[in-house]
Structure 1
Amino acid sequence: MTPAVERLVLATDGSDNAVRAADHAIFLAAAFGAELHAVSAAGAPDRTIARLADSIRAKSAVEAEEAVATVTRKALATDVPTKTEVVDGPPAKVVVDAGRDADLLVVGRHGHTGLGRFLVGSVTERVLEDPPAPTLVVPADADATPDYETVALLVDDSAVGRAATTMAIAVARATRATLEPIAVVDNRFTDAPGLRRALEDEARQLLKEVAVEAARSAVESTVTVRTGVPAAEFLDHADKTGADLLVVGTDAARSLDRHLATSVARRVVRQGTAPVLVVPKRVVTDGN
């Protein structure tokens, strides 16, 4: 069943990186026919020194109003229904709380060398520790005029992996993109040749099921199986296919270690040059 994306939340602080994220949020809201809710935090980050908190809060309130106004101006050029909100509170908490009611959360990511402001830097990292909803992370150097033609998907057979597949197909269908799913057999845990072949056979069967699901939604797909380190192979696959969007679940690569599984998604987010959609376990446990 294709998930409905009716409410898309954009977290913004008005920085150049957040403005880039707004471009992608508006594009996806238009593709899905969704309502866009832009939210900005007017508060000091957690653990801010008390004597600095008031001055930071006053400055951030002004910046937050300007940030949501920028989104409104951008959205006026489209037919996307848009609401804006400035919330008093620490940025990370504001973003997570806003994302709980979202079908899709969009945040910015600073460049590989830039420090960024608190929304697009450390706050995005904290949001990804336990994403409140499927979360699109848009890098600073992403295309300002998004047009998703190719969606790369890291496939695995966990419940979250299946949710990521469904989400990737939904985005591909809405944007008329081609789906490029890849299953990676982790060679760090497959020393025996017989075991590796068995896992590769399982991966091919899993990809066949993904292709059938995509076809039911009228989405074209080309499947790939590789053996190697999941994050590295997925990033290379995305680069070679020219992917405009990468989709990964937080339990990617069938890892038995929660922290290792999370690190696959995080490495993809940190090193990918295209926007990355991270699908969390919460989607499954909440029954969405």
Structure 2
Amino acid sequence: MRVFDTERQGWSASRRERLFQTERYLDLQRQRAVLQRTAVVLTVCGISFGAWALGWKDEPKPYRPPAQEAPADPGASDGGTTADPTQPESAPATPPAGYTVLDDSEGFRIAVPEGWTRKSQPSQYGIDIVEYRGPDGIRRIQIFQVMETTAHESVVESQKTSSKLDGYQEIHVQDVTDPSGGEAAEHEYTADELSGESASGVTYHVIDYRFEAEDGEKYALIVYGSQSDAADAERELLDTARAWFCPPNTQCDAPETS
């Protein structure tokens, strides 16, 4: 039976019908609450969708590799200038006229006069004793490794032995400056004989040079000539050989030449 609902201002089912069909006859306040919650849910969904749509539009574009740069001009230097092909390249360093640079089988590099012959003998320390000798049999260059801890000590020990030679005359025993900046010392003298050789009637002029090489080891570089040679002939032999000397297993720049 239908009755007039004063709250709803309309006819509605009887109380019995409302008890069995409660979903259809919610009170007005509850219906309003449901409508408000529904509106909030729809609003949130709408905002979320809008944010997603905007984010989708702003997604980064697919990766594309950058364009390849043009290869550098092979004639350009680091400063951006182009090398002048008309300018000659720097000439490689060369030894003085009449000398040749050799890579010895003992591993060192040295410059000796052209046409000289080589011989060697075992040493008690380090590399073999290597000797390059001129055609006259008098002029020669000898190279070997020494065991003393300093160049000065090595020269002093050598001088003790040389002073026993016939006709020995000391010129000097002194420390000197090596081209590499390391320590060096030399013993310069004349004698009528050489150790281990019979007298030849020649008075020898000897410069016994001991030095620390680029590898940190100590070496002897001894030049021999005749006292009658031109002035500084043996000094030229020594200076040229030392300038080009490079010890075994070591990288050395070629000396500067004028």
If the TM-score is normalised by the length of the shorter chain, which range does it land in? under 0.3
> What is the TM-score normalised by the length of structure 2?
0.22
More RCO (CA 8 Å, sep 6+): 1
More helix by share: 1
More strand by share: 2
